[in-house]
Amino acid sequence: MTNNSGNVAVVILAAGLGTRMKSNKAKVLHEILGKPMISYVVDTAQAVAGDQLVIVVGHQADQVRRTVAVQTDAFYAHQEEQLGTGHAVMCAMPVLPEATRDVVILCGDVPLLKKGTVKRFVDEHQFRKRTLSVLAVRVDTPKGYGRIVQDSDGTVTGIVEEADATPAQKAIKLVNTGIYCVDRHFLATTLGRITADNAQGEYYLTDIVDFAHRKGLPIGVTIGNDPAEFIGINSREQLQAVEQLMRSTLDLN
């Protein structure tokens, strides 16, 4: 089981407004069953990193800090402009706790993620001595997700976003959940090489997978069991769907 002795830190990406939520409230502050969605993610993150958490804030940063402060005394990084996931993690690097060896990256809008899933992910990453691990899931309808690209022997060679994917790549059903575990030194030296030369004009964190592959570093993929765990909330409809899923789970228990 997980015994990280303070060498794992979790970065939670929580800077976005979420324009599709049709609200002036920061996306991660929207409530599910009376609890801000980021509170669920913080609770899960603490299972693998204790209080070694870095929250990347942007919109309504003070309100997000106050919400998280109820649970833990976290570290914070401010992302002034939302220029992509790679840029968000760049902002977090200077405030990582000194003892950090591996960095787990979570999204603040994925509240159904289970503690056991993240523990298994980190355990596998460290046991196999990987430089970079990606948490993936198989879905029947992969549209909109980044696809996990593998070579003939199953080695991960990269992640391609929907907007940049070829027709063959769009047929891949193993998709990126946006959750990573990365060696801190590799992450620090690689983030500066990411460019925004893509269809979205953003700094994709997924580019670090391609860099690791080209260097011949050990990359692994852990496959989640339940696609529902990785639902990201980007709209009111998705918020309601996740709340219904959470309520039904409570009813079963």
HSE-up (13 A, CA, CB side) for residue 135: 28
Report yes or no: 231 and 242 within 8 Å, Cβ to Cβ: yes
For residue 57, the cross-strand partners are: 14, 78
Structural tokens at position 136 = 């993936």
Distances (CA, A) of 91 to 40, 85, 137, 143, 178: 23, 10, 27, 29, 17
Q: Is 188 exposed, middle or buried (0-12, 13-18, 19+ CB in 10 A)?
A: middle
Selected catalytic residue, list 20, 66, 193, 247: 20
For residue 10, the cross-strand partners are: 53, 104
Report yes or no: 162 and 202 within 8 Å, Cβ to Cβ: no
214 is an active site residue: no
For residue 252, the cross-strand partners are: none
Local structure of residue 24 (DSSP, 8 states):
S
Phi, psi values for residue 12, rounded to 5°: -110, 120
Q: What is the 3-state secondary structure (H, E, C) of 111-169?
A: CCCCHHHHHHHHHHHHHCCCCEEEEEEECCCCCCCCEEEECCCCCEEEEECHHHCCHHH
| H/E run at residue 240 | helix 236-252
Q: What are the residue numbers of the active site? A: 20
